[in-house]
Amino acid sequence: MQLQDILYSQGFGTRRVCAGLIQQGLVQVYESGPSEAPVKCLQAAAEFAAEGLRFQVQGVDWPYAEKAYILLNKPTATECSQKPSTYPSIYTLLPSPLRLRPQKGAVQGVQAVGRLDQDTTGLLLLTDDGKFIHRMSSPRHHVPKVYEVRVKHPLDARQVDQLLAGVVLDDDPKPVRAAACEAVSEFHLRLTLTEGKYHQVKRMVAAVSNRVEALHRSQMGGLRLPDDLAPGQWRWLSAADLASIAGG
């Protein structure tokens, strides 16, 4: 694959822009592996095996990824929208190549897999793999999601039992139940859900006469939010990470 096409596929601009980056000496390629120093390449049409390739653009390391799978620790007061109404978009936290990766559809770049409210923090996946988004969003998939909930009123066993048994929300006569639920402390509830209704955690907690004061998603499937990933930071997901989400 030509180097300019590799850069284009990774979101570094049009093919002409990518060729310009290369010809200006701004692209270096790890030809002998990541442990060796990268080598400057000035030929836009130079051929490389894309799979497993690592390179630098303007001094920043990038791995080639046929599809991008990203984990973001979503901070509070951000919106999961390309066109936010009140707060900054989560997409402003990502480098421009991830936002500009070419797509066949009208929307470029990675998209959030589901949404978290502006005041909800924690684990958020983003990808440009439409099939993955569809699979993760499908009701049939039932990926468990773990939420850390700070509540306004002291928790008691009755509330936990109600959430496990099922509560009725105003838009559906069928009870909605937590897959797991525990009172970690007097005001800290750990809730596991396998479906994603609108404002579901807040509405379920309200249904047992309590109120959510803060909400944080800590886990999806078997993937936990890393302790060393600060709010607003992101990282690439590995194949093992992806397997752990699906496998639970």
Structure tokens at 210: 């309590």
CA distance readout (Å), 34 to 8, 37, 77, 129, 211: 21, 7, 37, 26, 50
Q: Are the C-beta atoms of 215 and 119 separated by less than 8 Å?
A: yes
Q: Are the C-beta atoms of 98 and 109 separated by less than 8 Å?
A: yes
Length of the chain: 248
Q: Are the C-beta atoms of 57 and 7 separated by less than 8 Å?
A: yes
Q: In whole angstroms, give the CA distance from residue 78 to residue 100.
A: 20
* Residues in contact with 83: Cβ distance below 8 Å, sequence separation at least 6, in sequence order: 89
Distance of CA 158 to the CA centre of its chain: 34
Q: Which of 5, 117, 119, 129 is catalytic?
A: 117
Q: In whole angstroms, give the CA distance from residue 188 to residue 182.
A: 9
Strands in 2-59 per DSSP E: 27-29, 39-40, 54-57
Note if 172 is an active site residue. Answer: no
User: Catalytic amino acids?
Assistant: 117
